[in-house]
Amino acid sequence: MRPLLRFLPASVIKRFSRHRKSTHAVALLLMATFAGAGLNFGVQVLMARTLGVQQFGAFASAFAIVTLLAPLAGFGLGGYWLKAYGREGWDAQRWLPGSFRFLSISTAGVIAALMAWAWIGPHDFLTTAILAILVAHVIGQAAVMLTSAKYQLEGRQAALSVWQFLPHFLRFLGVGLLIVLLGADTFSAVHASIAFAVAALALVVLASFEMRRMITGRLALEGHLARSSVSDKASRPGIGQVISGAWPFGLAGIFYLIYFQSDIILIRYMVDETAAGVYNVAFVVMAAVYLFPSVFYQKFLLPKLHRWAHHDTDRLHRTYRVGNLAMLVMGVGGMVALWVGVPPLLPWLFGNEYREAISLLMILAVAAPFRFLASSAGSVLATRDYMRTKVKLMGLVALVNVVLNILFIPTHGASGAAVATVLSDALLCVLYILKSRRVMAEVQYQFKPVK
């Protein structure tokens, strides 16, 4: 292959090398993500079979609550760092002091709120204990978010791949070891919570080294100009400015979790823990299906989209068009694969006591084409100054989802929650497409060369 490249023009060779590098990076991320997804799926199967439906439902609903509140710690800092560095390059280092002060305050607030809810909420002792232990997950998620952003800024796809895989590996290892040491009959939801908490704290320790390198300026930005002279303290934004810039990214994460994962919480409090456990099995399967668009757009492509939105709008436009078509095709394929593959496999994996999850997955599978297409159509709304518009659309859909759940769950149970999810995904997809088309037209017009 290499001898043939000598006879090609330099521009063709450069393009070939660039695409080969991008393909290699995406492959690494996908391999690590699917390996991590396999471990996550495995740990869910282990817990579902070992704990039983009721304890598994108690753990799943408590973990969903913690996961829903965890993004409030840092509240969008990772996403905002990608935007700030994409716009300012090395000058964005000035945002770090205020960012870490805001991280400390927001994390302490989330932990206090979770502990308060654990003790005053309508819980039995089991749920209270699980919530109290899983508080460590809040700190772990913040560590994962910021370290992932650092690796994305540096273009270190191999390191990012390992980092995405590590949380799932540590949880699987912890749960597996405790089941072996304690025995399946003794292992409980509290023990599962301890395994998750220890994994989170281990991630915090590892992330602290990366954050220290970032603070001290040992950051190798990819595709940015050299550092400028902006370094005086007067140019360093305070906590208020950090919040002003980061809150749209934080709200986006919260709204996403509301219309994707709040169903489990509502089912637990409006029906019971058993129904939440069954629904969580369907949720785990759908989360695995949605990994590809999430990884491709949020982990690999998003830093590039931020740069292209400011400096290469033609490439942004091409990526948008091709991405929409590709995601639609893949979403339809995922839906069909779920319809065909789930009925025989799910009882074999999780056990016959979770058979009711099959009907839920048949409904949730309809959302796959909408979710895949929304990943592409909504990606351009995360660039430039359009993030606030994206957050408004997500907030509207999150509100619709909660209302639909409140209306459907009392009469239709978990099936009503599944229908609410499909309708919410369809609405968000339509809103993203309508708005992103106008955004792409605006961007192309703004950068149109004057003749």
Burial level of 250, CB count in 10 A (0-12/13-18/19+)? buried
pLDDT at res. 1: 40
Within 70-95, residue ranges assigned H as helices are 77-88
Given a cut of 80, whether residue 136 has pLDDT beyond it is yes
Does residue 450 come out as left (phi exceeding 0), alpha (psi in the -120 to 50 range) or beta?
A: beta
* pTM recorded for the entire structure: 0.72
Whole-number Å distance between alpha carbons of 362 and 293: 20
pLDDT at res. 2: 45
pLDDT at res. 233: 47
**Quick one: which of 218, 219, 178, 221 has its CA closest to 197?**
178
Tell me the pLDDT tens digit for each residue of 333-390.
Answer: 989 999 998 888 888 888 888 888 899 999 999 999 999 988 888 877 777 677 788 8
Count Cβ atoms below 10 Å from residue 115 Cβ, excluding itself: 14
Tell me the pLDDT tens digit for each residue of 279-328.
Answer: 888 888 888 888 777 766 666 666 666 666 666 667 777 777 787 888 89
Given a cut of 80, whether residue 171 has pLDDT beyond it is yes
Q: Which two tokens stand for residue 103?
A: 């991280």
Band of the pLDDT at 449, cuts 50, 70, 90? very low
pLDDT at res. 303: 62
Tell me the pLDDT tens digit for each residue of 26-70.
Answer: 677 667 777 887 888 889 889 988 998 889 888 988 998 898 888
pLDDT at res. 450: 37
CB 374 within 8 A of CB 430: no
Whole-number Cα distances in Å, 407 to 98, 412, 416: 42, 9, 8
Tell me the pLDDT tens digit for each residue of 108-125.
Answer: 999 999 999 999 888 888
Band of the pLDDT at 21, cuts 50, 70, 90? low
pLDDT at res. 301: 65
**Quick one: which of 130, 243, 276 has its CA closest to 189?**
130
Whole-number Å distance between alpha carbons of 72 and 135: 13
Tell me the pLDDT tens digit for each residue of 385-417.
Answer: 777 888 889 889 999 999 999 999 999 999 999
Structure letter (DSSP) for residue 355 = T
Tell me the pLDDT tens digit for each residue of 419-441.
Answer: 999 999 999 999 998 888 887 77
pLDDT at res. 124: 85
Tell me the pLDDT tens digit for each residue of 217-275.
Answer: 888 776 655 555 444 444 788 888 888 888 888 888 888 788 777 888 889 888 888 88
Rg (CA), the chain: 22
**Quick one: which of 165, 163, 167, 187 has its CA closest to 176?**
187
pLDDT at res. 122: 84
Q: Is 76 helix (H, G, I), strand (E, B) or coil?
A: coil
pLDDT at res. 80: 87
pLDDT at res. 246: 85
Given a cut of 70, whether residue 153 has pLDDT beyond it is yes
**Higher pLDDT among residues 78 and 6, named by residue:** 78
Average pLDDT of 168-177?
94
Q: Which long-range contacts (CB under 8 A, 24 or more apart) does 304-311 make?
A: 305/379, 305/380, 305/382, 305/383, 306/82, 306/83, 306/86, 306/87, 306/382, 306/383, 307/86, 307/223, 308/383, 309/86, 309/380, 309/383, 309/384, 309/443, 310/86, 310/87, 310/384
DSSP line for 305-318: HHHHHHH-HHHHHH
Average pLDDT of 100-108?
93
| Contacts of residue 305, Cβ cutoff 8 Å, sequence gap at least 6 | 316, 319, 379, 380, 382, 383
pLDDT at res. 271: 83
Given a cut of 80, whether residue 138 has pLDDT beyond it is yes
How long, in residues, is the chain? 451
pLDDT at res. 369: 93
Whole-number Å distance between alpha carbons of 197 and 199: 5
Q: Is 450 helix (H, G, I), strand (E, B) or coil?
A: coil
pLDDT at res. 444: 58
Task: Name the average pLDDT for the chain.
Answer: 82
Whole-number Å distance between alpha carbons of 208 and 216: 12
- End-to-end, the C-alpha distance of the chain in Å comes to 43
CB 375 within 8 A of CB 71: no
